[in-house]
Structure 1
Amino acid sequence: MSVDPAVSTPPIAKKVPHQRSHHGDTFVDEYEWLRDKDDPEVIAYLEAENAYTDAQTANLQPLREKIFDEIKSRTQETDLSVPIRIGEFWYYSRSFEGKQYGVSCRCPVTDPDDWTPPELAVGVDIVGEQVLLDSNELAEGHDFFSLGAFSVSHDGSLLAYSVDTVGDERYTLRFKDLGTGELLADEIPETAPGATWAVDHTHLFYQTVDDAWRPDTVWRHKLGTSKGDDVKVFYEPDERYWVGIGSTRSEKYLLIWVGSKITSEGWMLESADPEGEFRVILPRREGVEYNVEHAVVGGEDRFLIMHNDVVDGVKAENFVLADAPVDDPSNMTLLIPHRDDVRLEEVDAFENHLVLSYRREALTRLAIWPIVDGRYGEHTELDFDLELFSVGLSSNPEWSQPTLRLGLTSFITPAKVLDYDLATGATVLRKQQPVLGDFDANNYEQHRDWAVAADGTRIPISVVVRKGVERPAPTLLYGYGSYEASMDPAFSVARLSLLDRGMVFAVAHVRGGGEMGRLWYENGKTLTKKNTFTDFVSCAQHLVDSGATTPERLVADGGSAGGLLMGAVANLAPELFAGIMANVPFVDPLTSILDPSLPLTVIEWDEWGNPLADKDVYEYMKSYSPYENVAAKDYPAILAITSLNDTRVLYVEPAKWVARLRATKTGDAPLLLKTEMSAGHGGVSGRYEKWKEAAFEYSWLLVTSGAEQE
C-alpha cells in the first residue's frame, strides 16, 4: 500500500475480521492483522500513513524549523556537568556542539580533603582529563543509540557499559580497562540495561530478560571468563515479578530486588563474598512492599526498612520507616509512623546522616536526619521559596562525604545543582542550567489550581504561563495518571517556544498517579481506573468554566499509559478539545492484557486487573478501552506517534486505533499517525533528533490550538 505525498486522501486499512472471545463476549477485531510487522503489507500501510502525515503537515515546515532553531539557540550545546566525586576521581560529562550524544569523562582528585568540585569551563583544558566513553563514536553508523549500563568498578580501574542500537531494550555488555583504554575480550549480548560490580572489581552482576521482556534472572560474571561460564545466581519464575540488582551506598551489601506492582522482596549478600549465596531479607507477602538501606548506628550494621505493612492494626498505605539489625530484619523498631498526608518515598543512608525523600501537598520534600552519638537525631526539612518545585537527591555515591548534592527545578526555574553543607546547613549553587538568549524567569508565572471531580475529589492542576497572556488562551493540558508516577514541576527549554507564543501549559495531576499519596494511586487503577479519565475531563472542564481557555483552544497530550488516557478522553469528551496528541499510546489495552505471551502483560495484571480470569475486570476494561469504544462521532484533531521497535507499547495499538477511527468517526478533523521506523518506546535518539521531534509536535499543537505561530 502506498500513497503519493501530494495526495490528500488518507490510506484506508483493509478489514480482516478476527474474533476474540472471552467470558461469553465476542469482539470482532478487523485490524488485528496489523500486528505482524514482518508482513510487507503492514510496513507498507505504516509508510503510507507516514507519507500522508508528511503531506498533511508540510505546511508546518517553516514553523517546525523556527521552533527547532529556537531550541537550539537557547541551548548551550558545548557544556559540562558538575563533577561528582567517586574515590580518587571527579566524574562528569561533556556535550559538544554538533554532536548528538554525551561524552563521559573524569579527572583526578588533587586534594582528598577538599570536596569542592573543580570549576570546569568550556575551552579550558582540564588537568588529567580522561575520556571514559564517547557515545558519539559508539553510535556511529546506527540510526538509533541508547546507553544502558555505565558502571565503574570500585577501584576505578574498569568500566562496564552496555549499548542498544535497535531500540528494543536488549543491550550488549562490554568492559573497558580504564588504565590502558583497551576493551576486554569479555562481551555479553542480550542483557537488561544495568550492571553492578562486587567490591573485588573482578565479579560483576547483570540481568537478562525473558521472552516477554521481563528482567527475570541475575547472573554473575567473572572477568576473563566466557559468557558460557557465567553463573545464574537468581531466577524469578513468577511472571508478575521484575528482578533488579544493585548495592548499598556503603558498598558492603549487594541487593537483589524482586517486585510486582504490589509486592516486593529483597535478597542480600556481602559484596566481599561475591561467590556466596544470596539470602532473603524479608520473605514476600502479597500486597506488602518494602525497601532497605544499610546504615551503621552505634557501630552496629542496621537496615532501614520502609514498608507499607500493617502497623498497630492499620495498613500503612503511605509507608512507615523502621530499622532492624541486619542479622534479624524482622526485629523492627518504628522510626517514622504512618501519616495520611505524607507519602514516604525513600531513605538514603550515609556514614553520619540519613536523607528522607517524601511527598506532601503534591510536592516533593527532603529532610536531613543526622546520626549523633550512636542514635538518630532530629530531622530538618529543607525549605525552598517556590510555590511549585521539584527537589531530590542528585548523585551522591560516596558513603562518607561532608556535602549533599541536590537537584532543584520548577516550571520557571532552570535546573539547579546544589551542594548542601551538612555541618553548616549552607547551600551552595554549583550550576544552573544555562538558557541562552533573552530568557528571564520573571517573565513567567506558575501556580496551583484545583478542579473538582464528579465525586467531589479536588484534583490539583499545575499551570505555567508567560505573564501578560490574556484569557481565554490556547492551552496544552498534559496528563499521565498510572503506576503511581508523579508529574512533578520541571523546566523545559523546548517548552519556551510554546509559552512565548501565548500558550498556557497545564498538568492535570489525576488519580492513578502518585502526587497525593498511595490512595491517590489506588483510586485510579484496576476497577477504579475510570477516575483517571473523568478527573482529566473535570480538569479540562474547569479550565473552560473558569475562563482560562475554550474548547476551540484546548489541546491534550499524554504518552504511553498517558496515551491510554488520551484515547479514553477522546471517547468521553471529544467536544472539550480542539486536538489530542498521543505518544506511544496504550490504546488497545484489553487485547494486550488478555495475551500473556505479549511483552510485560502478566506484570501489568496488578495495575489493570486480570481480564483473563475475572469477568468483571474484562467488562470494566472493555467499557473504557479506547479501541473498543471508537464510535461514530465527531472527534477532535488527533496526532498519534509510535515506534516500530517499541517493546512496551507495541506500534500495533495506535495503528489499529487510527485505522478504526478512520473507518468510524464522523466530521472532518484531521487524523494522523506517525511511526518512527527505527526507534523504541522513548522515540528517536540523539538530542538534535529529539529537538526535531519536539518541533514537529509543538508546531502541530500550536496550529491546532489557534496559538500564535510567529
Structure 2
Amino acid sequence: MKIPQLKKKSEIKTCHGISWEDNYSWIHQDNILEVLKDSKKLNPEVRKYLEEENSYTDFHLSDTKNIKKKLFDEIKGRIKLDDESIPFKDFDYEYWTKTTTKGNYSIKLRKKIGTKNIEEIWNGDEEKEKLGVKYFGVGDLEVSFNDKYLAYSLDTKGSEYYTIYIRDIKTKKLVTEKIEETSGVITFSLDDKYIFYSKLDENHRPRKIYRHKLGSNTRDDHLIFEEKSEAFTVGISLSSDDKYFFINTSDHNTSEQYYFSVDEKKPNPKLIKERHKGILYSVNSWNGRFYNHTNENAEDFKIDVTNNLEKPNWKNFISPKEEVLIGGLTFLNDWIIRSETSNALDKLFVRNITTEIEEELIFSDEKVFVPGISLAQRDKNTDNIYLGYSSPKTPGKTYSYNLRSKEKKLVKKEEIPSGHNPDDYVVERVNCVSHDGRLVPLTITKHKNTKLDGTAHLLLYGYGSYGSSMSPSFSTTRLSLIDRDIVWVTAHIRGGMERGMKWWKEGKLLNKKNTFEDYIASAKYLIENKYTSKNKIIGMGGSAGGLLMGAVVNQASELFLGMIMAVPFVDSLTTNLDHSLPLTIGEFDEFGNAKDKKDHFEYIYSYAPYNNIKKKDYPHILITTSLSDNRVLFDEPAKFTAKLREYKTDNNILLLKTEMNAGHGGKSGRDGAIEEIALDYAFALKIAQKI
C-alpha cells in the first residue's frame, strides 16, 4: 500500500537568534479550539491525510485481526462485567454503582437506609443513547445534600468542554438550564439552593468560580472568584467538616487558597496565605482546627496546624522527612489517617486523636503493593473504614476495618471470571543506577515460567512528568502480554514523586533530560541483567510519557524493537512557544518558557522529539492520537509521523492511528478502552513475532 505523504510547506521559524525549518507547521489551524468543539471545521486536506494514515495502519495491522479479537475477549473476560461497588452510607440513603454485561457505562443506584427498595438514578448507556453521540464522557456526578437533585457534567466531543445539567431525581426533569463550557466539576451548597462551578475561558482554562442558583438564568450567575494569572487554574471544594468552602488556585508549582463559610449569603472568599513561587499548600478544616499540607521549608511536604485562619499560629503536626513524600489527611471523629511515599511504595498511618499514638497499617507480607483507604459513611462518628489492597500480581481486595479493635473483614474481592492464580507470577523491585548515580526503582512483573536468560521480550513503561507517581497496582490487561512471555517493567523515573519532591525537581525544567537518561539507564540495566536483550524491548508511554518515548527513540533507538506512543507530546517546542494553547502557560514551571527565556528555549530545542529526528534507523513505532484532544493536539503526532517518515533509514513500520471521535483519554466506554489496549498489544505481539 502507498505510504501516506503529508504535503511539505516550508516555514522558517526564528527565536532567540536561532532559526529552523518546519515543513509541516501549516497543519496547525489558528482556530484549533473551535476544531476541537466541531470537527467539521478541520482543514479537509489534513482530514484526508489522517484518514489515509488510518487506512495505512489498518492495512499493516490486517494480520493482527484475529489476535486483536482474541486480546479483546481475553481482557474483557478478566473483567466481572456485572459488578457492583461497595455502598457508601450517606445520612438517609446508601449510594453505589453497578455495571452490566451489555452496558459500557456505569449505573448509579441508591436505597433508603433501612429499606429494600432500590432506585436507579443514573444510567450512562441510556443517557448516551438519548443524546445520540459517539463520544460520551462523564465529568462529575453529584447528588444534593437533601437527596433531591442529581447534577452531572458531560463532554460529548472528547475536548473536555463540559456541560452541566441538574435534574430532579424523582421526576427526571431538569430544574435549571444547562451550563456550558465548564471544567465539569460540580459542588452543591449545603442548603442545596446553589451549585458552584468553574468556567473555561477562551483558552480552555478554568479561571473563574461562579455560583448558580437552581432554577435561575445562567446570565444571573454570581462570579465569586476570578484568577488574574493566565498560568493558574481554579477549583472549589468543601472542607472535611462541612464548615467552609475552599477555593484553590494554582499551577503545577505554586498555589494559593481562599475560604468562606458555608452559611455566607454572599460568599466573600478570604485569602489564607499569599502565593510564593515554588510553594504549594492546601488547607483543610476539622473539629475547630485547620491543617496545612505544604512544602514550605519542607521539600517533601509536612503538615502544620492552627486554631484559626484570621490570625494563624502554625505549629508542626507531621514533620518533614528526607525523600519521603508526606501525603494528606483523612479525618474521623477519633482518628486521623495519612499516607507516605518513599522508594515508589506507599504506606498508611493511623493516629488515635485521644492518645496521639500513631501506627502504620500493615496490609501484607508482599514487598510491592498498593494500599488505600476510603470512608464507609458520611457520619464521621465511626471506627470503621474500608481498606484497599492490590499488587502487580494480586487482584484488588477491600476489607471493612475497625480502627479500634483492628478487626478486618473481606467485603469485596476483584473477581477474574476467566481465572487467575497470583502464584503464577513473580514481582521484583530492583534499583538501577542512572547516569549521575541516582537509583531508579523498577517494578518488574513476569510469568513464573518466563526465562531470564536474555531471550524474553520486555515492555518498558514510563511517564516521568508533573510529579505523577506510577503506582505498582494490579492490572488485568497486562496479563495478556505477561502470559505470552513478555516481561512488564514500570520504570519509576525522575519527573514523578516516587522518591519525594526532589525526584520531581530533578526531572523537570532544565533537569528534564534526567527523565530520559533514567529510562535509557533502565533499559540498559534490564539488558545487562538478562531480563531481555537489545532489540527485544518495546517502549510504551502516553502524553508526557509520549514525550519521553520520542526523546529516547531519537537518542537510543538501537536499544528498542519498538515504541508505542499514545497521544504523545512530541512537538513540545512548538507548543511551548504558543501561549494561546490551553496548557502551555500553566506548564512553564514544568517544562520552561522557551519564548521568554533563552536558556529554556535552547534546552527544550535540544531534546524536543520533533526537532531532533535524525537520519538513522528507528524501531517499529505505533503512534495513536485523538482528533478532539485539547491537551496534546493531534497535529503534534501527525507532524512527528510525517517528518519521521522523511528521515528514517530503515524499513520498520511506522503507523499513525487517529481516533476521529475521542479525546486525550481515548475512546469513551468500556469496550472502547479495551479496543485501544488490544490494538497496542496486537502491535507489540506482531513486532515480537508472537502471532
Query: What is the TM-score normalised by the length of structure 2?
Result: 0.96
Unaligned runs of 5+ in 1: 1-7, 112-126, 311-315
The match for 1:222 is 213
My pick for the range that moved more, 383-392 or 239-248, is 383-392
Structure 2 SS opposite 1:436: coil
What residue number does 1:390 align with? 370
The CA distance in 2 between the partners of 1:193 and 1:394, in whole Å, is: 23
Partners of 1:551 and 1:397 lie apart in 2 by 52
1:116 aligns to what?
Answer: none
Structure 2 equivalent of residue 354 of structure 1: 336
Partner of 2:32: none
Structure 2 letter corresponding to 1:76: K
**Structure 2 residue 415 is matched with structure 1 residue 434:** yes
Taking the aligned partners of 2:312 and 2:596, their CA distance within structure 1 comes to 34
User: Which deviates the most, 585-594 or 240-249?
Assistant: 240-249
How far apart, CA to CA, are the structure 1 residues paired with 2:246 and 2:535?
53
1:209 pairs with 2:200: yes
Name the residue aligned to 1:445.
426
Q: Is the CA contact (8 Å cut-off) linking 1:11 and 1:49 kept in structure 2?
A: yes
3-state SS of paired residue (1:186): coil
* Cα distance in structure 1, aligned partners of 2:311 and 2:412: 41
Aligned match for 2:78, one of 70, 74, 78: 74
Q: 1:573 is paired with a residue of what secondary structure?
A: helix
Matched, 1:129 2:118: yes
Q: Which residue in the other structure is 1:64 paired with?
A: 68
Structure 2 equivalent of residue 118 of structure 1: none
- 2:102 aligns with 98
Which residue number corresponds to residue 10 of structure 1? 3
Alignment of 1:21-100 (within 5 A): 21-36=14-29, 38-100=42-104
> 1:397: Cα distance to partner?
5.9
3-state SS of paired residue (1:184): coil
Q: Distance in 1 between matches of 2:262 and 2:290?
A: 16
2:612 counterpart SS class: coil
Code of the residue aligned with 2:449 in structure 1: it is: G
Q: Percent identity?
A: 37
Q: What is the letter of the counterpart of residue 527 of structure 1?
A: L
Query: Is the Cα contact below 8 Å between 2:343 and 2:441 reproduced in 1?
Result: no
Query: Which runs of structure 2 are paired with 1:583-662 in the superposition (5 Å)?
Result: 583-662=566-645
Of residues 325, 333, 343 in structure 2, which corresponds to 1:343? 325
**Residue 279 of structure 1: which of 260, 270, 276 is its match?**
270
What does 1:492-641 correspond to in 2, within 5 Å? 492-641=475-624
Residue 704 (structure 1) shift: 1.6
Q: Is the CA contact (8 Å cut-off) linking 2:224 and 2:267 kept in structure 1? A: no
Mapped partners of 2:283, 2:513: distance in 1: 34
Shift of 1:476: 0.4
Greater CA drift, 93-102 or 409-418: 409-418
| 1:535-581 deviations in Å (ceiling 9; x for gaps) | 10000011111111012221000000000000001001000000001
In structure 2, the CA distance between the partners of 1:329 and 1:369, relative to structure 1 (3 Å rule), is farther
Distance in 2, matches of 1:75 and 1:356, equals: 31
Moved more, 645-654 or 400-409: 400-409
Matched residues in 2 for 1:217 and 1:318: separation?
Answer: 30
Aligned counterpart, 1:307: 294
2:128 maps to amino acid: A
Q: Deviation digits for residues 290-315 of structure 1, max 9, x if unmatched? A: 1112121xxxx1111111112xxxxx
Distance of 2:398 and 2:311 partners within structure 1: 36
User: How many Å separate the matches in 2 of 1:274 and 1:551?
Assistant: 66
* Structure 1 stretch displaced more, 636-645 or 326-335: 326-335
CA distance in 2, matches of 1:223, 1:329: 36
Q: Which moved more, 1:51-60 or 1:413-422?
A: 413-422
Question: Distance between the aligned counterparts of 1:263 and 1:645, measured in 2?
Answer: 29
Q: Please give the alpha-carbon distance, in whole angstroms, between the structure 2 residues aligned to 1:16 and 1:397.
A: 61
**Post-superposition offset of 1:361:** 2.4
Matched position secondary structure for 1:552: coil
Match of 1:260 in 2: 251
Q: Secondary structure at the match of 2:519?
A: helix
Q: Give 3-state SS (helix, strand or coil) of 1:169's partner.
A: coil
Question: Does the Cα contact within 8 Å between 1:87 and 1:156 map onto a contact in 2?
Answer: no
Secondary structure of the equivalent of 2:56? helix
Residues 339, 347 of structure 2: 8 Å contact kept = yes
Q: Which residue does the alignment assign to 1:363?
A: 345
Deviation string, structure 1 residues 293-349 (Cα, Å, up to 9, x no partner): 2121xxxx1111111112xxxxx1001111012334631011122210321021122
**Is 1:692 the counterpart of 2:683 in the alignment?**
no
Amino acid at match of 1:283: E
Q: What letter corresponds to residue 335 of structure 1 in structure 2? A: F
* Paired AA for residue 391 in structure 1: P
TM-score by length of 1: 0.93
Distance 1:488 1:329, change over 3 A: farther
Quick one: structure 1 residues 106 and 329, their matched pair in 2 at CA, closer, same or farther if it must change by over 3 Å? farther
State the SS of the aligned residue for 1:694. helix
Amino acid at match of 1:270: S
Write the distance in 1 (CA, Å) between the matches of 2:255 and 2:357: 29
Q: Secondary structure at the match of 1:607?
A: helix
Aligned to 1:241: 232
Is contact 1:655-1:673 (8 Å) kept?
A: yes
Q: Contact 2:176–2:214 (CA<8 Å) still a contact in 1?
A: no
How big is the shift at 1:350? 2.4
Aligned partners of 1:554 and 1:705 also within 8 Å? no
Is the Cα–Cα contact under 8 Å of residues 103 and 131 in structure 1 kept in the other structure? yes
State the Cα deviation string for residues 463-507 of structure 1 (Å, max 9, x = none): 111111112211100000000100011212121111111111000
Gaps of 5+ in 2: 30-34, 36-41
Q: Residue 165 of structure 2 aligns with which residue?
A: 174
Provide the secondary structure at the position in 2 that maps to 1:476. strand
> Counterparts of 2:574 and 2:315 in 1: how far apart (Å)?
46
Distance in 1 (alpha carbons) for counterparts of 2:533 and 2:460? 12
The amino acid across from 1:346 in the alignment is: G
Counterparts of 1:660-671 in structure 2 under 5 Å? 660-671=643-654
Moved more, 693-702 or 648-657: 693-702
Matched, 1:411 2:392: yes
**Does the CA contact (< 8 Å) of 1:475 and 1:705 recur in 2?**
no
Q: Secondary structure at the match of 1:551?
A: coil
Contact 2:432 2:522 in 1 (8 A): yes
Which whole-Å CA distance do the structure 2 matches of 1:450 and 1:199 have between them? 49
Amino acid at match of 2:157: V
Q: Which moved more, 1:26-35 or 1:341-350?
A: 341-350
Aligned AA for 1:41? Answer: E
Cα deviation for residue 379 of structure 1 reads 4.2
RMSD over equivalenced CA pairs, Å? 1.4
